[in-house]
Amino acid sequence: MMGDSMEINRIVCYSCIALSAVALFGALMLGNAMAAAACSFFAAFAILLWKYGTFFGPAITGFLGVRQKWGNLEVPPSFDMVFLRTRDGFVASGFLGIRLHKSVSEMSEGAAIEYSRMFERAISSAKYVTKFSVLASNIPVDDYLDSLREKRSFAESKKAHLAEDGARASADVARLEREVAMYSRLIEKIGGGRQPMEVICYAMSSADGKSREEAAAKLRTQLSELGATLAGVLDCRVDVMRGEDLQKCTLWEAAIPQARDRLAEEAL
């Protein structure tokens, strides 16, 4: 249902943009400057809403006090968690996207064992009940190498730009160096005949409370501590899932993408 809702939102937005373009063309043909200006404004607004709605949408819905419903789940205006009403109050659940830049298959036996121990330590370090999920699928090699080279080139350009800022961006530069190294290893491995995998990894945590506010406060503390632990132990980037990413993770708790192409489209 949530996947269909996302597709409907895209169709409605595209339709609004198309209708605005047609109306703008008609207004220009008729020489009506006011109508043309109005069409341009609403076309631009539709594009901004579609592209950046997850940023200013929560502010609008929060001001209006609007809460969205996904089945029996309730979504707050912040769009960073979901609420389930229980007999004792509420349960808030949220997700962390784990962006790994290392692969055990690319490591030596000793390094692979150590990295597995690190992952086990990351799991055992969690103070709260945590659910870890991994979605994996084989990737066709066609055009994949070119996309990896483009991503590596982009990361190299960004690293060079950040390097000019000196010590202030040293952490970001180090992360980008690891990212460039990862792309280089993947290009070398795939070029040598290894089958690449598309992997999406995320963690889920929940907290209860007598009210939405209490449950939300507990959950945000849990996600903050868990994210810091995972990022430190695994040396990776960890983000709280919001907006469409939150919707995808929630949907995947009931059903995962059935085809590899669909998984690639829904990557976090």
Interatomic CA distance for residues 257 and 264, integer angstroms = 9
**Domains held by the chain: number:** 2
Instruction: Look at residue 157 in the predicted model and tell me its pLDDT.
Output: 85
- Could you tell me if 128 and 223 lie in one domain? yes
- Could you tell me if 25 and 114 lie in one domain? no
- Does residue 185 fall inside a structural domain? no
Q: What is the pLDDT of residues 180-216, one digit of tens each?
A: 888 888 888 777 666 667 778 899 999 999 999 999 9
Instruction: Look at residue 137 in the predicted model and tell me its pLDDT.
Output: 77
- Could you tell me if 122 and 75 lie in one domain? yes
Interatomic CA distance for residues 164 and 154, integer angstroms = 16
- Could you tell me if 62 and 29 lie in one domain? yes
- Contacts of residue 253, defined as CB under 8 A and 6 or more positions apart, other chains included, come to 204
Torsion angles phi and psi, residue 184, rounded to 5: -65, -45
Binning the chain into helix, strand and coil, the percentages to the nearest 5 are 60, 20, 20
Q: What is the pLDDT of residues 130-145, one digit of tens each?
A: 888 888 777 777 677 8
- Could you tell me if 103 and 45 lie in one domain? no
Which residues form the domain of 42? 1-66
- Could you tell me if 47 and 94 lie in one domain? no
- Could you tell me if 5 and 100 lie in one domain? no
19's tokens: 């209708």
Instruction: Look at residue 18 in the predicted model and tell me its pLDDT.
Output: 72
Interatomic CA distance for residues 218 and 224, integer angstroms = 10
- Could you tell me if 120 and 225 lie in one domain? yes
- Could you tell me if 1 and 49 lie in one domain? yes
Please state at what angle helix 33-64 crosses helix 2-30, rounded to 10 degrees. 150
* Domain boundary residue, one of 51, 66, 81: 66
**In order along the chain (268 residues), what is the average pLDDT of each group of 10 residues?**
50 68 68 69 68 60 64 85 91 90 69 79 80 80 79 85 67 81 82 70 91 93 90 84 88 72 63
27's tokens: 């207004």
* Domain boundary residue, one of 10, 31, 66: 66
> Collapsing DSSP states into helix, strand and coil, what is residue 239?
strand
Instruction: Look at residue 99 in the predicted model and tell me its pLDDT.
Output: 83
- Could you tell me if 133 and 86 lie in one domain? yes
- DSSP count for the chain of H helices, then E strands: 8, 7
- Could you tell me if 62 and 112 lie in one domain? no
- Could you tell me if 129 and 212 lie in one domain? yes
Question: What CATH code is carried by the domain that includes residue 258?
Answer: 3.30.70
If one counts every other C-beta atom within 10 angstroms of the C-beta of residue 224, the result is 12
- Does residue 157 fall inside a structural domain? no
